[in-house]
Amino acid sequence: MSATASSGGPASLASISWRGQVVQVEYQWIAPERTQAPLVVFLHEGLGSVAMWKDFPAQLCAAGGFRGLMFSRPGYGRSTPRAPDEHWGVDFMHRQAHEVLPALLQALGVVEAPWLFGHSDGASIALLYAAKFPNHVAGLVLLAPHILVEDVTIANIELARTAYETTDLRNKLGRYHDDADSAFWGWNRIWLDPAFRTWNIGADITAVRAPVLAVQGLDDEYGTLAQIRGIAGRVPGTQLLELDGCAHSPHRDRPGDVISETVAFIHGACGTRP
């Protein structure tokens, strides 16, 4: 797998070789001038992108004095869309963690061990990366991660499918993705595939050695506390943050708490002050 990078303003494209073809990956740096600061890489949710993070990553990096890197996975945002006949397999998150993320970091010249800040599918990908490359990650902040498939998850993803087909959800997603169908159907079809019901990364994550902060809203419509508590049971030293008045997106519902806890967690692990 080879990769090259090009820069073109606030949002740029990196070329990586993946699945036998060259794909473009949208990325954006935050405060790159902080060359000695911890680097936080943001991994978006199953329908996310660089733009859908909005200003949260910049706020977090400003509060902690961090550098940041956002990117849209292939199929999302301004990255190369998924081909209409391309169906993701049960291992799609493993492939993102083991192939795409390492290729992108190589393309962008990242040689240090970054902090990974993941949301939902992005949090699961962060866990899989840390398990595969334990010496190449400083730590993990996981918002609403998935380590197994729950009935509540499937029920609400089915509702999302109905909303996409019958409401203006497609147009709303079109604000953040060059190809909304690419983003939505890639995510929705694999999660609703009967073969995916047995997906479980509990055994994989026992290899994680990095410090972990796992965050879950008590009103999360896509998962229960079994997710983060399952991580704590498999990764010693995991810190849990359970937030009331919070659904599947803690960084939107409780941004102040997520920022303060993340800043304290990273600086505590680094032995530094904010």
Confidence bin at 10 (pLDDT 50/70/90) = low
- Going by pLDDT thresholds of 50, 70 and 90, the confidence category of residue 254 is very high
pLDDT of residue 107: 95
Assign domain 3-210 one CATH number from 3.40.50.1820, 3.40.1190.20, 3.30.1490.190, 3.40.50.720: 3.40.50.1820
Distance CA 24, CA 66 (A): 26
* Structure confidence at residue 7 (pLDDT): 37
CA–CA distance, 158 with 242 (Å, rounded to integer): 26
For 196-246, what is each residue's pLDDT tens digit? Answer: 999 999 999 999 999 999 999 999 999 999 999 999 999 999 999 999 999
Mean pLDDT of the chain: 94
Please give the pLDDT value at position 271.
84
Q: Could you tell me which residues are beta bridge partners of residue 212?
A: 140
C-alpha dist (Å) from residue 27 to 18, 24, 117, 241: 16, 10, 15, 29
pLDDT tens track for 15-57: 999 888 899 999 999 999 999 999 999 999 999 999 999 999 9
pLDDT in tens, 201-212: 999 999 999 999
Q: Which residues, listed in sequence order, are joined to residue 117 by a DSSP beta bridge?
A: 42, 141
The total of other beta-carbon atoms located within 10 Å of residue 182's CB is 22
Could you tell me which of 185, 168, 204, 187 has the C-alpha nearest to residue 94? 204
pLDDT for the residue numbered 4? 46
Residue 69 backbone dihedrals phi, psi, to 5 degrees: -140, 120
Q: Note whether 66 and 39 are within 8 A (CB).
A: yes
pLDDT tens for each residue of 105-132: 999 999 999 999 999 999 999 999 999 9
* pTM of this structure: 0.95
pLDDT band at 159; cut points 50, 70, 90: very high
Instruction: Annotate 24-52 with DSSP letters as a single string.
Output: EEEEEEE-TT-TTSPEEEEE--TT--TGG
Is a pLDDT exceeding 80 seen at residue 179? Answer: yes
**Cβ(71)–Cβ(28) below 8 Å:** yes
**What pLDDT does residue 9 have?**
44
Strand residues in the chain grouped as ranges (E): 3-5, 12-18, 21-30, 39-43, 67-71, 115-119, 139-143, 212-217, 239-243
Q: Is the pLDDT of residue 269 over 70?
A: yes
Q: In this structure, which long-range contacts are made by residues 224-232, counting pairs with CB atoms below 8 Å and at least 24 apart in sequence?
A: 224/150, 224/152, 226/148, 226/150, 227/144, 227/145, 227/146, 227/147, 227/148, 227/150, 228/142, 228/145, 230/147, 230/148, 230/202, 231/127, 231/142, 231/145, 231/147, 231/205
